Structure formats: structure tokens, C-alpha cells
Amino acid sequence: MSLRLTSVLRPNSSVLRTCPSHMFGRIFRATLAVPASETVSGFRIPRTEREVAELLANAKSDKERKKIFEALIGIKEIVSKVPSKPRGHNEDDFIPIGRTKSTTDQTGVDVHHSPFKFLEATFEKTLKVLEKLPAATVYRQAVESITRDQLQIIKKYVNAAVPGEGADVVEARVKAAETELGVVLIEKAIEQAEDEYDLALKMIDFKGWENLQEKPAQGQWDYFPVPPSTSYPKN
């Protein structure tokens, strides 16, 4: 199948302005129909999801990855293969890191293409919300401690990214993070982080740290002893 580049990328389009010069070069000068599998000015148009992932993973910096992502969106031939921008709370955008994984094998759970940055942002927002709760509340103390620990883990993996690393290395880092976070899928860690953030917001309205309007009856909250069994076999 032939792709006329001049019908897709215009010389003055915003897509061209975002293209890394060493990747796209003088692509807008191509005026002839060129097969999508061929290279144009040193840039090979990716035709599979893995090629898209490799292109994003091999970027030299987050800024370059963003430019490549925006440029790929402008090529109609491969739009269906480019992962969408993950969005966080407050409509934050996160550029895909170049994951090759196409499914989580769990119904209703899609592969997240920027898990580390997303988790980092969610944990930081949760901690800011918790600051609005009284420091003495058990909920704040417990969630704050867990969230800080998880944030430190995620920051380690965010900082571990190496410019130009392959997509397989990206997936290996995601797997290592899943193990350290104690989850089967990093997408599950994202779900938990989002749920905790939403609950923290609700706790401000609930004001669960205030005294009850009706005093509890004496002994209502006392734990009752459970004597050890005398009939259950010990061996």
C-alpha cells in the first residue's frame, strides 16, 4: 500500500514542527508516493505496535518521546497502532513510555502505557489531600505511611529510565515494579492508588475524626475475650 506523505504531513503543520530533526529530517520534501515500509529521510514509518513501542522506548529524553508521539499521531497510516495518552486526575497528560504489552489478560483492565509517571502523580496528590486531615487521625497516619513508601518505590523506577533503552527493557522494569509493589499487574496498583485518592477526598467531607453526635453506650467498643479451644486437637 502506498502512502502519499504530502497528503498526510504538510510543510507548515504543527506535526512537522514537533518532529525531532534527526528522526524526520526533510520529510516534507517527499512529493512522490512512497511505500509505508520504506524509509524517508532516515525515518522508517512503523507498521506494527511493537515498532511503535520501540520508537517511543528508544527516545533519548521525555521531550523527544513527546515529539515523536505527537508526530506519529499525525500519520494516518498508523494512528490505530499508537497508544492513547493516559490521563490522570485534573486531565494531566502522560506520554507513553513504549510498552510492547498489548493485553493484561484480564477483562476490563487495559494496559497502561505510562504507569510510573501516573502512579507518581497520583501518590503525590493523595499526600497533598491527606495534609488537609488532622495529623492525629489514624486514617491519615496509616495511608500517609503506605503512600510514602509506594511513592519512593515508584520514584526509583521513574529515575531508572535510560535514554534509548529498548521496549523489552521497559517491560522488564514494569515487571520488577509489580513485584516490589506486591501486585500481579501494575494496572492494579494504579486502580488502588486512584481509589485511595478518591477516598481521601471523601474523608474530608466525612470528618470521621470528629466525636459522635450520640455517645456510644458503655462497653460498646470494648473487645471481648475469646478463650482458647479446649477440644480442638493440638496435633
- Residue 197's pLDDT is what? 97
> What Rg, from alpha-carbon coordinates, does the chain have?
25
Dihedral angle sign, alpha carbons of residues 88, 94, 97, 100: positive
- What are the backbone angles phi and psi of residue 140, rounded to the nearest 5°? -60, -45
Indicate the DSSP class of residue 220. Answer: T
Confidence grade of residue 14 (pLDDT, cut at 50, 70, 90): very low
Least confident of 44-53, 107-116, 128-137: 44-53
Name the more confident of 159 and 71: 159
**63 pLDDT above the threshold of 70:** yes
**32 pLDDT above the threshold of 70:** no
**CA-CA distance, 146 to 120, in Å (whole number)?**
13
Q: pLDDT tens digits, residue range 126-183?
A: 999 999 999 999 999 999 999 999 999 999 999 998 877 888 999 999 999 999 999 9
**49 pLDDT above the threshold of 60:** yes
* CB atoms closer than 10 angstroms to residue 13: 14
Domain boundaries, the chain: 1-82, 85-208
**53 pLDDT above the threshold of 70:** yes
- Residue 78's pLDDT is what? 54
The mean per-residue pLDDT over the stretch 80-94 comes to 60
**45 pLDDT above the threshold of 60:** yes
**CA-CA distance, 209 to 211, in Å (whole number)?**
7
- Residue 92's pLDDT is what? 65
**CA-CA distance, 31 to 50, in Å (whole number)?**
28
Confidence grade of residue 86 (pLDDT, cut at 50, 70, 90): low
% of the chain surpassing 70 pLDDT? 71
* CB atoms closer than 10 angstroms to residue 116: 24
The mean per-residue pLDDT over the stretch 30-37 comes to 38
- Cβ-contact 72, 54 below 8 angstroms: no
- What are the backbone angles phi and psi of residue 209, rounded to the nearest 5°? -85, -10
Helix (H, G, I), strand (E, B) or coil at 63: helix
**CA-CA distance, 196 to 206, in Å (whole number)?**
15
- Residue 24's pLDDT is what? 41
**CA-CA distance, 46 to 95, in Å (whole number)?**
18
- Cβ-contact 187, 104 below 8 angstroms: yes
- Residue 33's pLDDT is what? 37
**CA-CA distance, 40 to 25, in Å (whole number)?**
9
